[in-house]
């Protein structure tokens, strides 16, 4: 049995992750690959409760409390969903994972990198996604896209300067992990973004069959 692959989707709010997660699920299904799609924070009953607290705009918390809750939800997610699914040979696609903690809590809130790395090691050991798709979009465009759909959550209500720092931190991660993270210019029309994603996935699948 080939081991399953773990794919994560990242980007600032409004980059198009949720849209492409659905596309990716259908694409992999058409190639005969069984996938489980999930999200962070969340993905388990406890994780979804933590998500509700983390996104509730009436809730205030210290930046490090926020980090600890993100990693607590992640620990549960790895144990109950991600690792067991990969062990069965199925693929996992997650709307966000640890890169989001480095971008939002590290870049956005200014939590020390060293603390994030320590938690990452504690919760994941050396485990990392096989592939991370980073959808890069300007802060202005991301904001325009989410504004049109629903009320802002605790992160979405942040100012543009916060999202500029988050984007900068994501771009830093792309430079730091070029083998794992693929950047997709998500500011283009949907069909073009999807075509870039399809090109990457077809490359990944051809590597798998070689
Ligand atoms: N490339 C694109 N061009 C135009 N609209 C897009 C594009 N990608 C996504 N959208 C739209 O922008 C909104 C936010 O996209 P979504 O996938 O929910 O983003 P995210 O999950 O990254 O926050 C949705 O209404 C979606 O249809
Ligand atoms: C996984 C994760 C998410 N987040 C934030 C980013 C998002 O604003 C928020 C929820 O993510 P998301 O699922 O993208 O929200 P939506 O349902 O609005 O598309 O959580 C962090 O700050 N750190 C993390 O580690």
| Atom number, ligand 1, closest to the C-alpha of residue 187 | 1
Q: Quote the pLDDT of residue 178.
A: 98
pTM of the model: 0.96
**C-alpha 190 – ligand 1 centre gap (Å):** 8
Residue with tokens 């199925």, as numbered in its chain: 90
Q: Return the ligand 1 atom nearest residue 11 CA.
A: 22
Q: Which of 16, 55, 148, 154 to mutate to test the pocket of ligand 2 (most atoms within 8 A of CB)?
A: 55
Instruction: Identify the pLDDT of residue 209.
Output: 67
Beta strands in 47-185 (DSSP E): 91-95, 131-136, 181-185
Domain ranges of the chain: 6-209
CA–CA separation, 135 and 126 (whole Å): 24
CATH number attached to the domain at 6-209: 3.40.50.300
Residue 1 has pLDDT above 80, yes or no: no
Nearest CA to ligand 1 atom 12: 145
Percent of the chain that is helix, strand, coil (3-state, to 5): 55, 10, 30
Listed in order, strand segments (DSSP E) in 76-172 are 91-95, 131-136
Average pLDDT taken over every residue of the chain: 95
Helix (H) or strand (E) holding 1: none
Cα separations (Å) of 188 from 11, 44, 163, 191, 193?
14, 33, 19, 8, 6
| Ligand sitting nearest the alpha carbon of 56 | 2
CA quadruple 136, 141, 146, 151: dihedral positive or negative? Answer: positive
Q: How far apart (Å, rounded) are the C-alpha atoms in residues 66 and 88?
A: 32
Phi, psi of 15, deg, nearest 5: -75, -25
Q: Which atom of ligand 1 is nearest to the CA of 21?
A: 17
106 labelled binding-site residue: no
pLDDT in tens, 124-146: 999 999 999 999 999 999 999 98
Instruction: Determine whether the annotation assigns residue 148 to a binding site.
Output: no
Q: What does the pLDDT read at residue 191?
A: 98
Given this model, what pLDDT does residue 53 score? 97
**Of the candidate ranges 54-63, 85-94, 162-171, 201-210, the one whose mean pLDDT is the lowest:** 201-210
For ligand 1, the distance from its centroid to the CA atom of residue 67, given in whole angstroms, is 26
Closest-lying ligand to the alpha carbon of 105?
A: 2
Q: Complex ipTM, two decimals?
A: 0.96
């Amino acid at each position: 049995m080939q081991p399953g692959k773990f794919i994560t989707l990242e980007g600032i709010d409004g980059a198009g992750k949720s849209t492409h997660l659905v596309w990716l699920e259908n694409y992999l299904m058409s190639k005969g690959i069984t996938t489980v799609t999930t999200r962070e924070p969340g993905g388990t009953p406890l994780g979804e409760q933590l998500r509700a607290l983390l996104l509730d705009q009436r809730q205030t918390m210290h930046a490090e409390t926020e980090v600890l809750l993100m990693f607590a939800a992640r620990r549960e997610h790895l144990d109950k969903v991600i690792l067991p699914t990969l062990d069965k040979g199925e693929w996992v696609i997650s709307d966000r994972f640890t890169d989001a903690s480095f971008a939002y809590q590290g870049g956005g809130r200014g939590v020390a990198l060293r603390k994030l790395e320590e938690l990452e090691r504690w919760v994941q050991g050396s485990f990392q996604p096989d592939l991370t798709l980073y959808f890069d979009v300007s802060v202005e465009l991301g904001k325009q896209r989410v504004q049109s759909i629903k009320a802002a959550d605790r992160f979405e209500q942040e100012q543009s300067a916060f999202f500029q720092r988050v984007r900068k931190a994501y771009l830093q991660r792309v430079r730091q992990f070029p083998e794992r993270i693929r950047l997709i210019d998500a500011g283009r029309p949907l069909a073009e973004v999807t075509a870039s994603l399809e090109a990457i996935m077809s490359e990944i699948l051809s590597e798998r069959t070689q």
